[in-house]
Amino acid sequence: MSEIDLDLRYATPDNYVSRDVYGPLDCAYLRKDAADGLRRAAQWLQRQRPQWQIRVFDALRPQRVQEALYAELEGTPLVLYLAHPEGGSLHSFGVAVDAGLLDEHGRELDMGSGFDEMCLLSHPDHEAEHLAQGLLTAQQLAHRGWLRAAMRAGGFHTIATEWWHFEFGDRKQARATLPRVL
Q: How far apart are the first and last CA of the chain?
A: 26
- Our answer to whether residue 72 is catalytic in this structure is no
The full set of domain ranges for the chain reads: 4-177
pLDDT at 84 over 80: yes
Task: Give me the pLDDT at residue 153, please.
Answer: 99
pLDDT at 135 over 70: yes
Q: What is the CATH code for 4-177?
A: 3.30.1380.10
Do 90 and 172 form a contact (C-beta atoms < 8 A)?
Answer: no
Tens digit of each residue's pLDDT (9 = 90 or more) over 14-52: 999 999 999 988 899 999 999 999 999 999 999 999 999
Buried residues in 94-114 as b, exposed as e (16+ CB within 10 A): bbbbbbbbbeeeeebbbbbbe
Mean pLDDT of 116-138: 98
Task: Give me the pLDDT at residue 81, please.
Answer: 93
H helices within the chain, ranges in order? 32-48, 63-73, 127-132, 138-153, 171-177
Quote the CA–CA distance of 31 and 37 in Å, as a whole number. Answer: 10
Task: Give me the pLDDT at residue 22, please.
Answer: 93
What global pTM score does this model have?
Answer: 0.95
Task: Give me the pLDDT at residue 51, please.
Answer: 95
Quote the CA–CA distance of 35 and 136 in Å, as a whole number. Answer: 31
Task: Give me the pLDDT at residue 2, please.
Answer: 72
Quote the CA–CA distance of 173 and 143 in Å, as a whole number. Answer: 31
Mean pLDDT of 158-182: 96
Per annotation, catalytic residue among 108, 117, 127, 162:
162
